[in-house]
Amino acid sequence: MTPRPESSGSRPKGTAGEKIPEQPTAAQQKSAAKKTAVPKQAAAKKTAPARTTAKKAAAGKTTAAKTVAKKAAAKKAPAKKTPVEQPTAPAETTAVAKRTAAKKAAVKKTAAKKATATKATAAGSPAKTAAAKKATTKKATAKKATAKQAAAKKAPAAKALAQKATVSGAPAEKALPKKSAVKKAPAGQAPAGTAASAQVVPPEMEVTVAPAVGSADRERLLGGTHHDPHSVLGAHPVPGGVAFRAFRPYALSVTVVAGELRAELHDDGEGFFSGLLPLREVPEYRLVVEYEGTVLETEDTYRFLPTLGDLDLHLIGEGRHEELWTALGAHPMTHQGVAGTRFAVWAPNARGVRVAGTFNFWDGTGHVMRSLGSSGVWELFLPDIGEGELYKFEITRPDGSRTLRADPLARRTEVPPATSSIITSSQYEWGDAQWLARRAEVPAHEAPFSVYEVHLPSWRPGLTYRQLAEQLPGYVKNLGFTHVELMPVAEHPFGGSWGYQVTGFYAPTARLGTPDDFRYLVDKLHQAGIGVLMDWVPAHFPRDAWALAEFDGRPLYEHEDPLRAAHPDWGTLEFDFGRNEVRNFLVANAVYWCEEFHIDGLRVDAVASMLYLDYSREPGQWTPNEHGGRENLDAVAFLQEMNATVYRRVPGVVTVAEESTAWDGVTRATHHKGPSGFGGLGFGLKWNMGWMHDSLQYMSHEPVHRKYHHGEMTFSMVYAYSENYVLPISHDEVVHGKGSLVSKMPGDWWQQRAGVRSYLGFMWAHPGKQLLFMGQEFAQGAEWSEAHGPDWWLLDPGYGAEPDHRGVRDLVRDLNTVYRATPALWRLDTDPAGFEWVVGDAADDNVLAFLRLDPEGAPVLAVSNFAPVIRQDYRLGVPDDVPAWHEAVNTDAARYGGSDVTNPDPVKPEPLAWHGRPASIRLTLPPLATVWLRPA
């Protein structure tokens, strides 16, 4: 009976523990030939039943002669040999490999899967051939392999039956590594591995298994829903040897190479390849993969251990991994001695995750990630993949659909509108050690702190990070600002959002260069003595289908309650601050910018929208917290954790809250509870939005009406010490129809410029730090647009009104210079002891006057006249221990474009009590001007 040829599917199972008769009779041989079970230790081979019967022959001359005769008969038969899946062992290991077939030629492989097998008759009978499918187009190769068996030397029966595999012309004895060879038996005994010594074969190799990937695993791998591909693919010790399985879509063949071993795997179809090699342990091996037109030698992706440890996964699950960016994302690294890239992503609802990118032509079918326990983290190490490659994660959602997503922790992205993530690592060498060493010497609220806010893409349109680094530090230093605040930094798809709808929370925007280019800009600013703040947006994110929204098919980063998730003002989604992993994502992100990019401070956007459940929501659109209140307790806990973590890990960094309500304790320590029962949020500074709105409202009135709004300028001192404040004239106040700062002022062009100068003088003297948006330092008339940036042409010497604009800029420089040199203007910003009213109720005069004091009591007298008239001999009460005062700043000076009404000589106090003080002075107050006086 001709045996049925094997298929590429499952194979018939052998019988475990089957005894081997020492001298089979012809009847026994015929009976064995009818069996379709695969002999033990050869499940991965397509074997000929003729050799199956021969293996049972005992040693002896008669049997050996019969064996030779059988092989000679087989040589004459015209039947084709079945292509084999792996090479056989050397002659010494025939017990392990004697049932394997000849190896297909490594170079001229085809897609043939099946062949006929020959069935030998009793000893000395000619072999009968069986009709079957064509095995290969290389008939000559198959016949040559048969001829080699017929020409074998006379040997014991078991040796005579052993197949000899040759790899690239190497002899059969070198087909396996030496460590896998079976030792020769002592003289007088049959060699180990022969039929006579079958009893010494290791028990684990007595029963073989089919190496091909099972149908269930196969279906899940193809469908992108497998959670543990490493348990199936790669090399695995099994009874009978080591099973090798590869999943290489579009490959023509896959060959295992280990030392001098070279074994081609069987093509199981649909990109699956498998083979069982008679090895005692998994060797160090590589894969040679042939595609149409090319051959690639590479490491097996599925032979590597996980790159993340239990501690990483535990911390992620607890929401306490403060260096999350080192665990998740794409990281070039050397793993188990092999260079490649580790990919890891959190997607707990996914049915499966694959990596797609330029390295696999955006087909992630063959790069299936594994799920690491219950952490929700998926991981894969891809050898030979390095920096510069683009990638995304292909996620199979719970409903079976697929989505291609950018990496939430990508540290570099494509230039928008392209959306792919890019593998990157930093090679940057910092030069700001001196800056960092002294950064923490003085807390921000006790130090000079004046900020120049910059929209990087439009400050000088067209400049890259490195080009900006050659211009921005010098400009800011010349103006005397202590810090810059950069917007935007994190990657965002829509430029019109100014960076406030972030999709790449860990990636500097690629519009201006690489992450290391951004590091270069920060470094240069530090070397110029300028601190760097950045706008940070943890409140919300856009709904782009390639980013965070329903990342793995269900609400993940956003709250699962649609009412809680949807931001009513911006059409975005709010983060779920109560979820450990989401909170961890944001806290680690804050640390990331400070540690990886040496950022000196984070200005946190839209804090109020995070703190209140009913923010911009009507009744019925929000649900009270567990206490029945409107506070978002999860957001409170997140902000407290973020601030505590940043201040603990990065000394000298300051966090600044853009918080527009009267929330209690924004800048109070997190462990100090206030009247509301909450601990402080832990910020270092808070934008004083109330001062900004009130003061700009006052300045927008005609001077004749200002007396009715006088309280708008004095009310800020009622709460000035409730928080540590920054006084912001930010981008929000000079865009979208609000006009520029100078255009807010009433009157003609001269009065408008005078109003700006007097306002800036008042602002710099007022308790609190200062922030001014670009373009306002030279009284730009047009409101800002991100499309073209500041109107630098106003400072062109060829422009007729250039002196007017340059004068305002010169004033800003002098304000900063005097401010930084005068501790009374910043040392006690947050202490009531640093401020005293001289006159705050002169509404009819539109005059305000106050003293600023340093810890030693040294004063600065600031006087503002917001009326367009000169006030001669205006008497003000002053301390009697200052012998004389002189002007330090006068915003009406001619060099600033003013009318040059000044007090050029020292002003001496008179022993006349005034404004409740024992002495007084008489000043000439310029129109629409602020004057600073210091002790002479």
Burial 385-403, CB ≥16 within 10 A → b, else e: bbeebbbbbbbbbeeeebb
Residue 69 DSSP SS3: helix
For every residue of 731-756, DSSP letters joined together read GGGSSTTS--TGGGS-SSHHHHHHHH
Contacts of 619 (CB under 8 A, 6+ apart): none
832 DSSP assignment: G
What is the DSSP secondary structure assignment for residue 175, as one 8-state letter? S
605 is catalytic: yes
Q: Is 441 exposed, middle or buried (0-12, 13-18, 19+ CB in 10 A)?
A: exposed
DSSP 500-519: -S-SEEEEE-GGG--HHHHH
**Neighbour count for residue 175 (Cβ, 10 Å):** 26
Q: What region does 309 belong to: left with phi over 0, alpha with psi -120 to 50, or beta?
A: beta
Angle at alpha carbon of residue 546, lines to 545 and 547, rounded to 5°: 95
CB atoms within 10 A of CB 671: 10
Q: Pseudo-torsion of CA 825, 831, 836, 842, nearest 10°? A: 90
Euclidean distance between CA atoms 605 and 608, whole angstroms = 9
From 6, 605, 723, 892, the catalytic residue: 605
Nearest of 121, 113, 116, 105 to residue 79 by alpha carbon:
116
569 is catalytic: no
The residue annotated as part of the active site, out of 658, 733, 777, 845, is 658
Q: Which residue has the tokens 């004697």?
A: 98
Whether 698 contacts 745, CB under 8 Å: no
Q: Which residues pair with 687 in a beta bridge?
A: 726
Which residue reads 């039943």 in tokens? 49
Q: Other C-beta atoms within 10 Å of 196: how many?
A: 22
Write the CA distances from 350 to 31, 127, 316, 796, 927, integer angstroms: 53, 57, 17, 59, 68
Are 931 and 758 a contacting pair, CB within 8 Å?
no
d(C-alpha 245, C-alpha 226), whole Å: 15
Residue 18 in tokens: 């089957």
Which of the 8 DSSP states describes residue 629?
A: -
- In 555-617, which ranges are E strands? 573-574, 601-604
- CB–CB of 930/811 below 8 Å? no
Task: Retrieve residue 893's tokens.
Answer: 């000076």
Active site positions, annotated: 605, 658
